Amino acid sequence: MPLLPTPQRPWGRGHREGQRFRVRRTARVRDLLGPDNVGIRQSLVALGFSSFTAVVAGGLLAAMTGTLERYPGLLVLVPAAIGMRGNIFGALGSRLATSIHAGTFRMSRRPETLVMQNVLACGILSLLTAVALAILTKVLSPIFGLDSVVAVADLLVLSSVGALLSFAVLIAVTLVLAARSAQRGWDLDDVNAPLVSAVGDVVTLPALLVASLLLEIDVLTTTLAIAVLVAAALSLWWVRRTVFTLLRQVLVESLPILLATGILLVIAGVVIEHELAAFAANRAMLILVPACLATAGAIGGILSGRLSSKFHLGVIEPTAIPGRPARRDLVAGLAFALPVLILNGFLAQLASSLFGFESPGMASLVWISTIGGLIATLIAGAIGYYGTALAVRAGVDPDTYGIPLVTSSVDLGGAAALVLTIGWMGLS
């Protein structure tokens, strides 16, 4: 008698859940090995949004020309303040992205948790670096040939008030991004740097403008400057005594690199301040300053964030010649740059036409944006890999060191590249 076929049992609930887990795990591994189609789309959307907001920030900067001329040294603080916001909150997002990949991320308001210790660390870093940028601006500007700078009390108020107003907005944006990424399976490394850069551009300039209004009252300026110095000193004292080990670790590792990169950011601002007359004559070119620097910095931030997560998880090794997974990320980052930089030039011309700013023409703006931006992006790619690899070899957290190295170097290299490109085209 022939045997009847054995009936197939329906799959149980446990099997289906296991299958879904394996699919999610496979997708996560694929994302870590290189940017897939979803990651590329997320990055392009984030970079496009960053370009639009950076052009808006550039329009605000062009509209502030009178204020910039009235307060010498304010333009020095613009790339420094924007860059420092990217350094602090880009590194925060990168640390949170690594915790999401590792499965340790939890949103909580308890001060001893990973998230809240990082929030407190970012607040203290915002205050301390704002004080440092003000002092560095006053000290370094004459050394690099910029003798006319407002008083150090004015710089302290400009830098600190601008930093604290920006902190209130950026910390909320970064935490919302991290929570949504954890819930919806986004790769925070792909979207954090462009979106934080975009929001930082738009928020920091109005914050500096609001801070400049306080300079009209001498007694208030002096009082605020003293209060800022006292608050910074108390913050350092509290950090030395705190029981929050993660907060102390973030500050101990972050402060040296942020102070070092602050020097590069101030020098970048001095480079741009030297060309204030050329920018004032063609204010459309001033729109390109935050746009090009934001694009290159965001791409460098994406690379640094992705590479940092891969170093943490052992997917790649810090070798002298980048391995295949690292090369895939580097090539993808450079491929993002060209269309976004061309878009920046078109948007700068559109904004200048809408608001009646003087412009050298669309072709010139596109060339300035593309050439200057590509140079800055190449710098970002090199430092994004080797800066992160050196951090791993030195035994420090690449999340804390990678993005600050990239954004500050890009700001200095990008500012120099823009100024050189403007000079090559005979517009300076």
Domain spans of the chain, in order of start: 36-308+317-424
Cα separation, 266 vs 428, in Å, equals 21
* Largest pairwise CA distance in the chain: 106
CA 250 to chain centre: 17
Query: Which pLDDT belongs to residue 378?
Result: 79
Does the global pTM surpass 0.75? no
Cβ 79 vs Cβ 272: under 8 Å:
yes
Q: Which two tokens stand for residue 294?
A: 């934001």
With CA atoms as reference, report the closest residue to 36 among 319, 337, 306, 321.
306
With CA atoms as reference, report the closest residue to 51 among 338, 275, 391.
338
Q: Which two tokens stand for residue 18?
A: 């296991």
Query: Which pLDDT belongs to residue 30?
Result: 45
Q: Which two tokens stand for residue 84?
A: 């420092």
Query: Which pLDDT belongs to residue 31?
Result: 45
HSE-CB at 253 with a 13 A cutoff on CA atoms is 26
Show Cβ contacts of residue 43 under 8 Å, excluding neighbours closer than 6 positions.
35, 190, 191, 194, 302, 332, 336
Query: Which pLDDT belongs to residue 21?
Result: 43
Question: Tokens 């704002």 — which residue?
Answer: 130
CA 62 to chain centre: 21
Cα separation, 193 vs 306, in Å, equals 11
**Full DSSP string of 255-318:** HHHHHHHHHHHHHHHHHHHHTHHHHHHSHHHHHHHHHHHHHHHHHHHHHHHHHHHHHHHTSS--
With CA atoms as reference, report the closest residue to 81 among 195, 205, 173.
205
Cβ 135 vs Cβ 225: under 8 Å:
no
Query: Which pLDDT belongs to residue 132?
Result: 94
Q: Which long-range contacts (C-beta less than 8 Å, at least 24 apart) are formed by 226-231?
A: 228/127, 228/130, 228/131, 228/156, 228/157, 228/160, 229/131, 229/156, 231/127
Cα separation, 211 vs 159, in Å, equals 8
10-residue block means of pLDDT along the chain (428 residues)? 45 48 45 54 72 81 84 85 82 81 78 86 93 93 86 92 90 87 74 72 82 83 93 92 86 88 88 83 84 74 73 76 78 78 89 88 89 81 78 72 72 81 80
Show Cβ contacts of residue 264 under 8 Å, excluding neighbours closer than 6 positions.
408, 409, 411, 412
